[in-house]
């Protein structure tokens, strides 16, 4: 039989080891809870996978764009003769600076999103080739303020670096007005380029936009330019018929500060009290 002090020592060691195991077990349960017990602000346990039955999260699918740009049936909206549209637009422009007011034609096309676009130059029958503004920094400041009374911007070769440093691409680019050597709008002969009278048009998001006159134009002058522009766009669409479907679906006339009026293809005024002379000249 072992001595008494040896038995006491063995029992003491057993008691100490048992106490350590109990403390360690309690500490592990208190300080290190299992993953399934941890909750977060979302209410879900981190690391806990959702079951495959009824609880799987659905992946958000991006809505696919249609293959063609949205087109409208113009007959479902109010339509106006050209003279009526000019009459209402002139009313919207009362008080504006005459040289800053332009008539703009928007031709909406029925076309594919990823198809070829119509783009070219056209010399309209009655579009004044004169300059409405000239200079460098003074022109840049007016462009930044949104005052752009022109349908084409020409840049002399000597001013090309100044134009680049002005960082006007984000303003002029979306409007198709940024000068470039490829388009011939950066040139060393401004006068010759101006007298050529040709203006560039380009389809953007299924629409072709072009300035077709100034406030001082007569309705007949505007009508001649509209007819020439529509004819040119239709011919470009026909030239692409072997490649893609493309056709004119809507024609809208607007002004610099006025709304757009859907044209019905007619010319005459509907109000006999108003004459074409009333719609001619600067107000």
The domains found in the chain, sorted by start residue, are 67-129+198-283 (3.30.190.20), 130-196 (no CATH)
Transcribe the chain into DSSP letters. Answer: ---HHHHHHHHHHHHHHHHHHHHHHHHHHHHS--GGG---TTSS-TTPPPPSSS-PPPPPPPPPPPSB-----GGGS--B-HHHHHHHHHHHTTTS-GGG-EEEEEEEEEEBTTS---EEEEE-TT-----S---SHHHHHHHHTT----S---EEGGGHHHHHHTT-HHHHGGGT----TTTT-EES-HHHHHHH-EEEEEEETTEEEEEEEETTS-HHHHHHHHHHHHHHHHHHHHHTTTT--EEEEEEEEEESSS--EEB-S--S-S-TT--GGGGSS--
Residue 214's pLDDT is 87
Q: Which segments in the chain show pLDDT lower than 50? A: 1, 4-52, 55-57
For residue 93, give the nearest of 278, 204, 257, 244 by alpha carbon: 257
Residue 240's pLDDT is 92
Q: How far is CA 80 from the centre of its chain?
A: 27
Residue 125: how many CB atoms within 10 A of its CB? 13
Residue 129's pLDDT is 57
Residue 59's pLDDT is 53
Residue whose tokens read 């594919």: 112
Within 8 A by CB and 6+ apart from 239, the residues are none
Residue 39's pLDDT is 35
Residue 260's pLDDT is 95
Residue 21's pLDDT is 46
């Amino acid at each position: 039989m072992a001595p008494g002090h040896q038995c006491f020592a063995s029992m003491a060691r057993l008691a100490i080891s048992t106490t350590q195991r109990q403390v360690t077990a309690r500490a592990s349960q208190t300080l290190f809870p299992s993953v399934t017990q941890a909750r977060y602000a979302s209410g879900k346990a981190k690391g806990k996978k959702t079951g495959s039955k009824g609880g799987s999260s659905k992946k958000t699918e991006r809505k696919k764009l249609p293959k063609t740009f949205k087109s409208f049936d113009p007959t479902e909206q109010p339509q106006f003769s050209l003279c009526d549209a000019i009459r209402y637009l002139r009313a919207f422009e009362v008080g504006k600076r005459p040289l800053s007011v332009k008539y703009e034609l928007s031709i909406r096309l029925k076309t594919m999103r990823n198809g070829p676009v119509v783009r070219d130059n056209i010399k309209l029958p009655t579009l004044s080739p004169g300059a409405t503004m000239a200079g460098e920094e003074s022109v840049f400041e007016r462009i930044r303020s949104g005052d752009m009374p022109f349908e084409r911007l020409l840049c002399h070769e000597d001013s090309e670096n100044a134009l680049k440093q002005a960082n006007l691409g984000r303003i002029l680019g979306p409007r198709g007005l940024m000068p470039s050597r490829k388009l011939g709008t950066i040139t060393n002969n401004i006068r010759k380029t101006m007298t050529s009278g040709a203006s560039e048009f380009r389809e953007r998001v299924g629409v072709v936009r072009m300035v077709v006159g100034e406030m001082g134009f007569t309705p007949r002058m505007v009508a001649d330019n509209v007819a020439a522009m529509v004819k040119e766009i239709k011919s470009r669409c026909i030239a692409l018929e072997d490649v893609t479907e493309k056709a004119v679906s809507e024609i809208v006339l607007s002004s610099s500060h006025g709304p757009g009026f859907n044209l019905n293809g007619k010319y005459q005024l509907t109000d006999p009290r108003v004459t074409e002379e009333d719609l001619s000249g600067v107000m």
